[in-house]
């Protein structure tokens, strides 16, 4: 058998044994890496970021970030538990921090390490708007999008021949740093379009489960688009995201189900 056929066969075999299914959306993805190792490295980078940033605490805005984060976290846990999949969240040690920074940005690293920048708060306006942002970012982590991107990098670098646990420390560190650049850009993972749309869908459901009106997602994204218009380049938060019309169309397509979750949580 030719080498390229062997590599192809190996990639198919790996895909079979490492295919993860998102319990919220049903989407399948290749996730080769160890979630525990990813979470550990993410926690280290998160602390490095916090140590060099101005973390806001004790204010009404900081309390809102914590409150919204905890409601979304609890909603996710209850949903996963209802499916008997609470073990999926075993490597999560949630933190929700507000960082003084004018960027219109927020992110969540694997393991539940969340940062919201003060620059995005005028766009979120209230906790419902904040729930759109945090639900979206938390969904990236819950869906294993970091693992998926790391797995893609592993296959690109190593031809699928090495699975996470057998990688050397230097190989593992190289792949992680490629996917999660350290320093000022930590957490700003360049997700693919499918991943962004999945985070929109999942985030919409999670905010509904947490008791936030998912209909508020539409005006939030409209405000976000307006806030970025006129600038030469979009905010990092929008740089890899779907176009506004596509995004709103997809959100509307999932709205009925999101509203069902919202009403089940006591919303109207």
Residue 114 in contact with residue 95, Cβ under 8 Å?
yes
What is the C-alpha to C-alpha distance for residues 203 and 197, in angstroms, rounded to an integer?
10
Residue 109 in contact with residue 138, Cβ under 8 Å?
no
Residue 136 in contact with residue 105, Cβ under 8 Å?
no
Residue 48 in contact with residue 182, Cβ under 8 Å?
yes
Q: What is the bridge-based pairing of β-strands 113-117 and 95-99? A: parallel
Residue 51: count of CB within 10 angstroms of its CB: 8
What is the C-alpha to C-alpha distance for residues 20 and 239, in angstroms, rounded to an integer?
27
What is the C-alpha to C-alpha distance for residues 20 and 15, in angstroms, rounded to an integer?
9
- Please state the φ and ψ torsions of residue 47, each to the nearest 5 degrees: -65, -35
What is the C-alpha to C-alpha distance for residues 265 and 24, in angstroms, rounded to an integer?
16
- Which of 137, 196, 198, 225 is flagged as catalytic? 137
137 is catalytic: yes
167: DSSP letter = S
In sequence order, the 6+-apart residues with CB closer than 8 A to the CB of 35 are 91, 110, 144, 147
Annotated catalytic residues are 137
């Amino acid at each position: 058998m030719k080498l390229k056929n062997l590599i192809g066969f190996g990639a198919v075999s790996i895909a079979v044994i490492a295919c993860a299914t998102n319990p919220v959306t049903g989407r399948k993805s290749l996730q080769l890496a160890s979630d525990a190792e990813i979470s550990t490295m993410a926690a280290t980078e998160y602390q490095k970021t916090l140590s060099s940033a101005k973390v806001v605490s004790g204010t009404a805005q900081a309390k809102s970030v914590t409150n919204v984060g905890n409601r979304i976290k609890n909603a996710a846990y209850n949903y996963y538990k209802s499916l008997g999949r609470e073990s999926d969240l075993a490597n999560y040690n949630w933190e929700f921090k507000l960082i003084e920074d004018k960027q219109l940005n927020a992110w969540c690293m694997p393991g539940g390490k969340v940062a919201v920048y003060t620059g995005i708060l005028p766009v979120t306006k209230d906790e419902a708007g904040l729930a759109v942002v945090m639900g979206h970012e938390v969904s990236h982590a819950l869906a294993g999008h970091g693992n998926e991107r790391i797995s893609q990098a592993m296959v690109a670098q190593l031809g699928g021949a090495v699975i996470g646990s057998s990688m050397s420390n230097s190989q593992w560190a190289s792949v992680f740093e490629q996917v999660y650049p350290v320093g000022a850009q930590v957490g700003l993972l360049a997700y693919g379009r499918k991943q962004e749309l999945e985070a929109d869908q999942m985030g919409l459901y999670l905010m509904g489960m947490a008791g936030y009106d998912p209909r508020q997602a539409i005006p939030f994204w409209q405000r976000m688009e307006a806030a970025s218009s006129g600038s030469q380049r979009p905010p990092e938060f929008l740089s890899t995201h779907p176009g506004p019309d596509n995004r709103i169309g997809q959100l509307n397509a999932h709205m009925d189900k999101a509203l069902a979750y919202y009403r089940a949580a006591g919303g109207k």
